[in-house]
A and B are shown apart, each in its own frame.
Chain A
């Protein structure tokens, strides 16, 4: 459980969203577990989703399969964060 305090998944994921969506630091910091992503942010179209997932793979050093990509994954910041933590734990 001590790993949790050292978990940097949250700031890394915010960094990816900031870079892909061009968010300023304040907007990136304001993302909460329930903040909507795909469908809620007009900037996040299919090309941006692809950039986002590819950049997550690079920065977290895991691979996301086609069949892991569905609407639920990108529904909220919280769902994407949980996914990234799960992938890292499994890696």
Chain B
């Protein structure tokens, strides 16, 4: 099935695949990544930001996804676009094609992402006067799947998230402290930061040629 992607393609030698953060963090960083791609385009670097299956404009069901279906999709995207480099952001480091050289920007452990979504659900439930806890939610989810952060998680994805850790196969890690300002995936409202897009594009453009 075909998936959508944000693309800057002028057939140039350096072709960067961006594997986005997962879940809500994807929405919160979309503008940063799009702005970074625009700057890289200006610096002579092609860029590709594919949707993960089940997300954004994907025709697939989110519930049917797990980390392996996403790994497969990102590997196919790398091949389809002829990517020469990769930038994996946050949870993107759990599913990016590790054979490509490139960068990993603040890799996220899956368990931390899951914990945060569970916590959001518990806080929302308590506001409505009902009591939920992580252990019971997970126990239920392992069999029946679970609604978290507006997504309907299948049991397989939940199982993956309990254990997956990011893998670095030689990519350089970019730390938030090396950019100017607070991490945009933390923001309650999707924000933007021209300064951070400048800094991120600058790092990639200077190192891709080296």
Contacts and interface: CB of A to CB of B under 8 A. Distances in A.
Interface string A2-32: 0000000000000100111110000000000
Interface of A: 15, 18-22, 43-51, 53-55, 66-67, 69-71
B57 interface: no
Contacts of B117: 50
A43 B188 CA distance: 6
Interface stretch (B7-15, B70-78, B122-130, B155-163): B122-130
Contacts of B133: 66-67
B123 A49 contact: yes
Interface string B2-30: 00000000000000000000001000000
16 contacts: A15-B182, A20-B188, A43-B189, A45-B188, A47-B24, A47-B120, A47-B188, A49-B119, A49-B123, A50-B116, A50-B123, A53-B119, A66-B119, A69-B119, A69-B123, A70-B126
Given A18-B182, A51-B116, A54-B112, A66 B188 contact: no
Nearest to A15: B182
A65 B149 CA distance: 19
Contacts of A50: 116-117, 119-120, 123
A42 to B, nearest CB: 9
B189 A55 contact: no
**Consensus secondary structure, chain A interface:** helix
A43 to B, nearest CB: 5
B115 interface: yes
Given A18-B182, A54-B112, A49 B120 contact: yes
A22 B123 contact: no
B116 A22 contact: no
B186 A51 contact: yes
B44 interface: no
Given A20-B187, A22-B188, A54 B126 contact: no
Contacts of A66: 119, 122, 133-134
Contacts of B120: 46-47, 49-50
A69 B116 CA distance: 13
Interface string B120-148: 11111011000001100000000000000
A32 B182 CA distance: 21
A22 B122 contact: no
A18 B184 CA distance: 11
A19 B182 CA distance: 5
Interface in B92-122: 112, 115-117, 119-122
